[in-house]
Structure formats: C-alpha cells, structure tokens
A and B are shown apart, each in its own frame.
Chain A
Amino acid sequence: MGKPIDLVQGTLDLLILRTLLPEAMHGWAIAKRIQQMSGDVLQVQQGSLYPALHRLEQQGWIKAKWAESETGRQAKFYALTAAGRKQLETETANWQRLSAAINLIVTEA
C-alpha cells in the first residue's frame, strides 16, 4: 500500500455527501468511512473535513443533530437533506463526466 494521497480538489463535498447517503454519521466516522471505502488510499485531513461539513450545513445540503454515539457519548450526527440528495446526484454526474473525460485522455496515450 502506497502513501495515502490527498483528495482531488473539490471532491471532498462529493465524498461526504456520498458517505452520508445510507445513514447519518458523525465527523470522525465520516473520515474513517472514506478512508476504509477507498482502501486506505484517500485520507481526509481534519483541517478540511470540519470546515467542509460546516459549509455543507450552512448551505442546507446536510443537517446536523446531537445524539448518543456508539460509545454512549453525545456526538454531532450529520444527515443528508432532500436538497443534499439532489446535490449529490448533480455532483456524481459531474464527477462521472469529468473522470470519464480524464480517463479517455490518460488511456489514449
């Protein structure tokens, strides 16, 4: 396994929204989940995770609720809103177009 790579610019929002699709989660779990799902390739810096979460919350794409966590402590759980779901679809489509395009160029060579 190589060194974990930093996220591509602008994809963190997409990853967060996608991670939250099945269920509500708190910040630490989101970071963990992204790391696990990417097979430890992607590592989310806390320095960007929390500003991103708060920004998404301000924009109304996710909503937050304080609830008891698995350890029994109060934690802030984030969940997708309806607007967030729509935003996820848009961003996913965008991402697919972008990555397909990059793929085309990269594999062509």
Chain B
Amino acid sequence: MRWLARLQMKITMFFRRGKASARLNDELAFHIDRQIAENVAAGMNQEEARYAALRTFGNPALLREQTRSTWSWSWLESLLRDFKYGARTLRRTPSFSLMAVIVMALCIGAATSLFTIVRSVLLRPLPFRDPDHLVMVYEHFRAAWANTGPFNYNVVSPADYFDWRSQTHGFQDMAAWRWWQFNLSGERGELPEAVTAAAGTWNLFPLLGVQPAVGRTFLASEDHLDSNVVMLTWSIFERRFAGDPSIIGRQIHLDSKPYTVVGVLPKWFTYPDATVQVWVPYTAPGPAEWIHHHDWHQSHVIARLRPGVSLASAISQVEAVQYRLHMQYPTAPVAEDVVPRSMIDDLAQDVKKPLLILMAAVGCMLLIGCLNVANLLVARGAARQKEVAIRGALGAQRFVLIREQLTESLLICFAGGAAGVLLSFAATRWLASAWKDLPTAESIHIDGTVLGFACLLVFAAALLAGLLPAIWSTGKSVFAVLQASSRTAGGNLSRTALRKSLLSIEIAITVVLLIAAGLLLKSFVRLRSADLGCTTDNMLTMRYSLPAQKYDKPDKVNSFNETLLTRVRALPGVRAAAIGMVLPGAGWEDDDIFTVTEHPPLKPGDELPDALNREADPGYFSALQIPLIEGRFFTHDDRLDRADKVIISRQLARQYFPGEDPIGKHLHVAAKDKRSFEVVGVVGDTLYRVGEPLKATMYFPVLAGDADMGLSLAVRTDSDPLAVSVPVQKEIAELDPELPVSDVLTMQQIVNKSIGNSSFSTTLVIAFALLSLLLASVGLYGVLSYLTTQRRVEMGVRMALGAQRGQVLQLALFDGLRPALIGLVLGLGLSAAVIREIQSMLYGTRPLDPSVFAAVACTLLLVAAAACAFPAWRASRLDPMQALRTE
C-alpha cells in the first residue's frame, strides 16, 4: 500500500504546496522556540538564549530550501523558477530575443515542412497491401546510351511482360499498366473532355490489395482486345458523375465507343498519379497485334514477391527469360537485362534528389541558426560572467547554473519552434501545391509524427545552441573571472576564440550552401536560355486525338486536319498554323528503330539505329521556324499512298549518315508496317525536352492519314497567342462537336513546364542560402561589435600612444575578417568535397565550376567586409580620453 500513500503524498504536495510551505515554517519555528526555552531553562537570559538557539540552528533559509528540495515535484518547482528567470532575462533584451526567436522559427519551420514532405514522399509506406513486397520491374539495355538518367529503367513491352508472368515462378504475381488517352464524350450533350487513362491488367488491383469503393474490379475474362468495361477513379466519379453509385452498370462513351462502368476506385487511390481519370483493361485499347510485340516499350510492371523467395532469385528468373527473348529477336530493341526498383522509389524518382538536397540545405540553415543563437548567448554570457562567477563562489552548483542558462536557449527554441510549426503549416501547404512533380501530394500534411520530429528538433537545437555557451561560461574559476574583469584592456581571449570558431564554422556552412545555390542558379540560367531549335514566341499549341471509330478512313482524317488548318490560317491575327504529332519540348513520347536500306545489314550485337518518331504537315517546319538544311519540306502531294517520305533531323544525318548525302536514301521502319521511307529533306535539330541531350528525329507526313496517335496543333500569331485560343477551339468544335481539345498551352508554357521543377528547387535552395548568408553576416556583425567594445580601452591606449585612425580601422577590420577568411577556405574545401552530390541536378555546369566558386568567395568577402565595416569604423572614431575614462 506504500505506493498509494506515496501517490496521495504526491497529490497533496502538488495541490497544497503553499500550505505545506507555511506548515514547514511553523515546524521550524517550533524547533527554535523549544531550543530557546531549553536555553533559558539552562540559565541564559532571553536574548542570549535566542542567539544561541539560532546559532545551533544554522541558516534557516538554507534549511528551508534543503527541506523543500526533498518534497515531490521540487524538480518542477525549480524548472518553473528557471523558466521564470529565463523569461525575465529574455524580456530585458527584447530585440535580441525577438531576433533569436525569428531565426529559430524560420529554421525550424523550414525543416519541419521539408521533413513533412520527405516523410510522405520517401518514407511513408504506400497505401497498398504489404507494400514492402511490391517491386517495379523494368527492362534494361546494356548499350551506353541506356545507362543515363531516365533510360536506366526502360518501360516494358507487353509480350515481354506476358512471357515473364507465364514463365517465371519467383514472384507471387506480376501486373502491368500503361498510359492511355481517351476522348470522353457526353451522352446528353455534356462537353467532351480529353481524359488521361491507364490500362491495367485484370490482376493489378488484387495484387495491390485495392478494394473498389463501389462495384468491382476487372475480371480475367474481361482483359481482352476491344473489351468494353471501365473503372472510374474517385475524382471523375465525383466531378462528372456527381458521386452517384447508380453509374455502375451504365455506359459512358470513350473515343465514341460505349464502355460499361463496373467499378469506382477509392478516393485514396491516386496511383500512378492524380491525373488518371479512368482505368480500362490492359489489352482492351489494342491495337490487335500489340500484345505480341517485344519491342513496343510502354508498360510499367509491378510484381509482388513470393514469401520466402528473395528478390535476387526472383529477378534472376525473369532475367533469364528476358535474355532468351533478346537472343530470339536480335534486330529488334529487346533489352538484355531486367532491373527492379522499389515502388516507393519509383514514384519518387524525379523528386528524390532535389528533396534530399533541399533537406540538406535546410539542415545546414538550421545548424547556422543554432550557431548564431549560440554565438549571441556567448556574448550575453560574457556580460553576466561576474554574476555567474560570484554565484558559483557562493555555492551554486555548476549543474544548476548550466541548467539555468540552458532554459534560456530552450525558451528561445520553444518560442521559435512554436512559431516555426505554425509557419510550416502554411509552408507545407504551399510547397505541396507549388511543387508540381511531387507524387502523393494530396497525402502531405502535418501529423503527430511530424510534430514529434519538430519537438525533437527544438530540443536538439536548444541543446546545441545553449550547452556550449553554458558550459563555457560556468567552467571558469572565480579568481580568473574576477581578475580578468578588473582589467578588461586585453579582452578575454579564450571566449573570443570560441566565438570566432563558431563563426568560422557558420561561414563555412554558408559557403557550401552558397556554392550549391550558385551552381543550381547557373544551370537554371543555362536551362532557360537553352535553344529549343524552333521559335517559342507567340506560339499557341493544343492537342486533340481523332477517335479511330469515327475517323476510320485516312481520307476522313486528312479532310479534318486540312479543313482545320485552312480555317485556322484564315483567322485574324494568325500568321501560320501547323499540325504535328509531338511538338518540340513536349517530351520523348515515341521512338522507333530503323535501318537504312542502302547500308549493309547490321551484324548481331550492333547497336540498333533509333530515332524519335514525329509527324509533320507540309507547313510544319516553316510555321515552327525549324530551318531546312537540305532537300525539301513535305508537299500536299506526300499523302496517303504517296506518303512514303521521311524528313530527318540534322542529328540523325550526322549520326547515321556520316560523310554521305542522306537525300534519296531509304529508312526501313519495322514499326510502320515494315515500310521503307525515302529521305527527302534534312531539317534543324530540336530538343524533345529542355535540359535533355539532342536525339535523332525522323518526321513522317501527317497526311498519311493515320489516326492512332494524338495530334498537336501549333498556331503562330501576331501578338498574344492566348487571344486566339478560343477562336481556334471554336473552329474545332464546329468541325466536330464531340472532339475535345487538351493541353492548350503556349510554347513558352511548354518550355516552362519542363524547367519549372528545377526552377522551383533552385529558388528554394537560393532562398535558404541567402538566408544563411544573412544569418552569418549578422553573426559576424555581432561578434565584431562585441570585440570592439571589449577592446575599447586597448584601442584608446593605442590611439593615445599615437596610432592613426586608419591603423585602428585596419586592426578591427582584420580581426573580423580573419574568422570569415578561415570559414571561407574551410567552406571552399568542404564544397569541393561534397558538391559532386548535386551533379545530376546540374545542366551545362560542372560541379567544380571556377566562376561559381569565385563569385561565392567574392560575395562572401564583400558581405563580411560590410558586416565588419560599421564596428570597425566605430572603433576608429573612438575618443581616446573617453575610452580610457570609462574604465
């Protein structure tokens, strides 16, 4: 029952502390009175008896303190007292406190936001059943070109997937999906809409462990060509069908073909991303021969590991199958190897590196913030040196003194942390919406774990910022302090040494950040000024896709396209219009291998010639201002059966026709019904995406009349291109009211889209670096002002002895610049060591770019000099008499 008694005691002591205190006084008074009474009985007079009693009793205040300290909750009491003292000292210097709190709020806020995003993007398990057992499997070519960037993980061909699934047993199951695009037209006159779709194998949802919110998923028997079932994602279900479950069993029209809705996916299911509106069975969209192709790379394969089978052994089985396929089709692009990647990495691939770099930048900024607060606290410690020494001499324990100083930094960090967390609520929301590439952006929010992380951060920051100064300022012997403070002429060397080394570290970290920011900025500028190879001014673009159901003859396709071009060209303000398949800068989209008929056949093992596959109408190149280098553009005569012409890019000519004239040669393209195309022209190079290297490109006549791919309309205008977007869309709607257009963008917007994310992370890193520079310069200013005040007397003596103002100025400047220089050298060395990490984010810039290093060094020195200038100037303006008298 003792615990009960103790609990009772604890409760009493917590709630009735004031009464207990009064009772303690009574108790001690009683003791003294009894002692006095005894002394009187022993023959002393009243006065003597009282003194004798008090003498034996000792210091009643101390006794009371010691007794109180045995009570429960005394730790809480002393903590509260420390906080009270801490708050009081902080209130006395509001500008210092406010500044420190703002610094901590910014640092902790930024770190919390970044952690929130890192957690939901990189750390939080995917919402699927047993997500650790899910891996993506890709093809992998051994050729050198395939070992860079996006080609490390090559999407899979359908026939490869089917062979993997049927011929290996290492995985429990394998599923596949590919992107698709549909025109969704309304049955009752609603607006047509181009929807992003995905085609997934029937076993995809069971494999992921996804239960539909309404209805069912696909059946194995529904996964066949021209299957007409569809699943809706939650977003289109709510948006277009008003969340009405009776949609199940009803029909919707995709590409003018009726599909029956069998199920609706749950709201949380946004894989592969939130743009997907509908799912159809994998093999449903066709074309018919598609599933037999080992060289049409489009699909993403998800595999679930069988319990007890290692990933390596499961993959090696798939690898064996794939290598056999490669040997079987030596002239087709069938990869030699396969390569797995965890699903979470697969989703985060584009943002992982920038995120980690941002996280590192924020970490550096937090460190700088802590060092800054530490530095400011050391300065305050210096001012309170005497007080601390005397309290130590009077018997205060060192631990108590350290704890007291620590509460000060704890208070700063608490206030900063609270403000920072509030800040990060806003910042996280902004980041999640502004950062376009983030997967699972909708699940990013601050939760308990993140708050826990923030608390941890606050404590770590408080320890870091407070412990060093506290240990430093309490570790001195009383004599040393009192002696030193009796003649401050020389200043306190050890303390300034601490402050200077803190400062050097701070500056070194700032230099690393600045260099990273500088490199990113430089590559961003390069990216912005990269030449796309065609005009980007006053260009409006939009996409549409003619459904094969309705446009079943090449003549119908051509007639639509040619009528559209004629009508658009006649619009006021339009200078030129063109139709192509994929415009420059809009992405990789499609490539095909080819052989040159006139060249000797390839030997096995030779690299297969490969080029981007584009289409163009006769006016395409002049409308986009892509220069003709040789030969001719397409004419209106290159159509239908006579469309066996091809125009190649300069890169293709350089790469595959070195030292010969390509005009009149023939490209044999297996993917285009094994037909041969005569090269009629060579045109200038265009980039398929800004920031990516050049790729050989072939253009086929759009007037061949194939309708299987989406088309892009490009319109060059006199002035603001967006002004013609509505008239152009009206023309399309008049030609075919059921045809939706999508991606209405200016060419500049397309370019910005591909550099947008790099601009985003670059801006953030630059912001963090500038903030760090500001913090470091504030630190420098603070240290130097403190130093010059400490050396006032010395300076006064020097000047009284005849030193010139210029010399004093030099002395003070040098004093401040030395830690800056040390930090700069340290930072440059550190950068050279670690900056390679961001290589993959750079474009047209080397990690060890001398101009960036030089620019950062100059900036830092300038800022440091500016921060030192004012205190140094003040030192040189010192009146020697005044300075000597103040002592």
- Asked whether B313 is an interface residue with its Cβ less than 8 Å from the other chain, the reply is no
Name the distance in Å between A43's Cβ and chain B's nearest Cβ. 9
Closest chain B CB from A15 CB (angstroms): 17
B34 at the interface (CB under 8 A from A): yes
B58 lies within 8 A of A45 (CB)? yes
Q: Is the CB of B6 within 8 A of A60?
A: yes
> Do A50 and B67 touch (CB < 8 A)?
yes
A66 to B24 alpha-carbon distance, docked (Å): 11
Q: Does B35 contact A (CB under 8 A)?
A: yes
Given contacts A45-B58, A47-B62, contact A54 B67 (CB under 8 A): yes
Which residues of B are found within 8 Å of A36, using beta-carbon distances?
Answer: none
Considering only CB atoms, which chain A residue lies closest to B4 in the complex?
Answer: A60
> Once the chains are docked, how many angstroms separate the CA of A7 from the CA of B177?
84
Inside 8 A of B23's CB, which chain A residues have their CB? 66, 76
The stretch of B25-33, B133-141, B689-697, B750-758 in contact with A is B25-33
A2 and B777 CA atoms in complex are apart in Å by 70
Tell me, in angstroms, the Cα distance from A74 to B29 when the chains sit together. Answer: 11
A38 at the interface (CB under 8 A from B): no
Asked if A46 lies at the interface with its beta carbon under 8 angstroms from chain B, I say yes
Q: Interface digits, A57-80 against B, CB 8 Å rule (1 contact, 0 not)? A: 111100100100101011110000
Assess the A59–B6 pair: CB atoms within 8 A: yes
A46, B6: Cβ atoms under 8 Å?
no
Mark B residues whose CB is within 8 Å of A.
1-2, 5-6, 9, 13, 23-24, 26-28, 30-31, 33-35, 37, 56-59, 62-63, 66-72
CA distance A42 to B742 in the complex (A): 98
Is there contact, CB below 8 Å, between B26 and A74? yes
A50 to B56, CA, bound (A): 14
CA of A57 to CA of B371, assembled, Å: 46
Give 4 nearest A-B pairs by CB, closest first: A55-B70, A60-B5, A83-B2, A28-B34
The answer for the CA separation of A108 and B553 in the assembled complex, in Å, is: 120
A28 x B30 contact (CB < 8 A): yes
| A81 interface contact, C-beta 8 A | yes
Q: Which residues from chain A contact B28 at a C-beta distance below 8 Å?
A: 50
| Choice from A47, A71, A73 contacting B63 with Cβ under 8 Å | A47
Q: Which among A71, A76, A81 has the greatest number of chain B C-beta atoms within 10 A?
A: A76
A51 within 8 A of B: yes
Q: With an 8 A cutoff between CB atoms, is A18 at the interface?
A: no
Inter-chain contact B9/A47, CB cutoff 8 Å? no
Cα(A80)–Cα(B810), bound, Å: 77
- Can you identify 6 A-B contacts, CB atoms within 8 angstroms? A26-B27, A54-B67, A58-B71, A59-B6, A74-B30, A76-B26
What 0/1 pattern do residues 22 to 45 of A give for CB contact below 8 A with B?
000011100000000000000001
Give the residue among A28, A52, A53, A63 with the most B Cβ atoms within 10 A: A28
User: Which of A27, A54, A57, A83 touches B31 (beta carbons < 8 Å)?
Assistant: A27
Given A27-B27, A46-B57, the answer on whether A58 and B63 have CB atoms closer than 8 Å is: no
- Contact between A76 and B30, CB atoms less than 8 A apart: yes
- Quick check: B27 and A76 within 8 Å, CB to CB? yes
Q: Please report the C-alpha to C-alpha distance between residue A54 and residue B72 in the assembled complex, in whole angstroms.
A: 10
A50:B9 contact, CB within 8 angstroms: no
Q: How far is the CA of A46 from the CA of B27 in the complex (A)?
A: 12
Closest-by-CB residue of B relative to A52 is B70
Q: Is the CB of B30 within 8 A of A54?
A: no
B6 near A28 with CB under 8 A, answer no
Given A50-B28, A53-B67, 17 further pairs, Cβ under 8 A: A27-B30, A46-B63, A47-B59, A50-B66, A51-B63, A51-B66, A51-B70, A54-B67, A54-B68, A57-B9, A60-B6, A66-B23, A69-B30, A75-B27, A76-B27, A82-B1, A83-B2
The answer to whether A58 touches B56, judged by C-beta atoms less than 8 angstroms apart, is: no
B24 surroundings in chain A (CB, below 8 A) = 50, 54
Measured between beta carbons, the chain A residues less than 8 angstroms from B56 are 46
Cβ of B240 to closest chain A Cβ, rounded Å: 70
A60 to B8, CA, bound (A): 10
* Contact in complex: B66, A47 (CB < 8 Å): yes
Q: CB-CB < 8 A to A81: which residues of B?
A: 2, 5
Contact of A58 among B1, B6, B26, B34 (CB under 8 A): B6
Q: A53 — which chain B residues lie within 8 A by C-beta? A: 67
Chain B residues closer than 8 Å to A60, beta-carbon distance? 2, 5-6, 9
CB distance from A79 to the nearest CB of B (A): 13
Q: Which of B5, B26, B27 contacts A50 (CB 8 A)?
A: B27
Q: How far is the CA of A73 from the CA of B37 in the complex (A)?
A: 13
How far does the Cβ of A28 sit from chain B's closest Cβ, in whole Å?
A: 4
In the bound complex, how far is the Cα of B8 from the Cα of A81, in angstroms?
A: 14
Contacts of A57 in B (CB 8 A): 9
Query: Residues of A contacting B59 with CB < 8 Å?
Result: 47
Q: Do A26 and B30 touch (CB < 8 A)?
A: yes
Contacts of A50 in B (CB 8 A): 24, 27-28, 31, 63, 66-67
Tell me the bound Cα distance from A76 to B67 in angstroms: 15
A83: chain B residues at CB < 8 Å are: 1-2, 5
Q: What is the CB-to-nearest-CB distance from A76 to chain B, in angstroms, rounded to a whole number?
A: 5
Q: How far is the CB of B643 from chain A (nearest CB, A)?
A: 97
Chain A residues in 8 Å Cβ range of B35: 28
Distance of B850 from chain A, by nearest CB (Å): 70
Q: Which residues of B contact A52 (CB under 8 A)?
A: 70
Measured between beta carbons, the chain B residues less than 8 angstroms from A54 are 24, 67-68, 70-71
**A63 CA / B26 CA spacing, docked (Å):** 17
- A71 pairs with B37, CB closer than 8 A: yes
Q: Report the bound CA distance from A51 to B13 in whole Å.
A: 15
CB distance from A61 to the nearest CB of B (A): 8
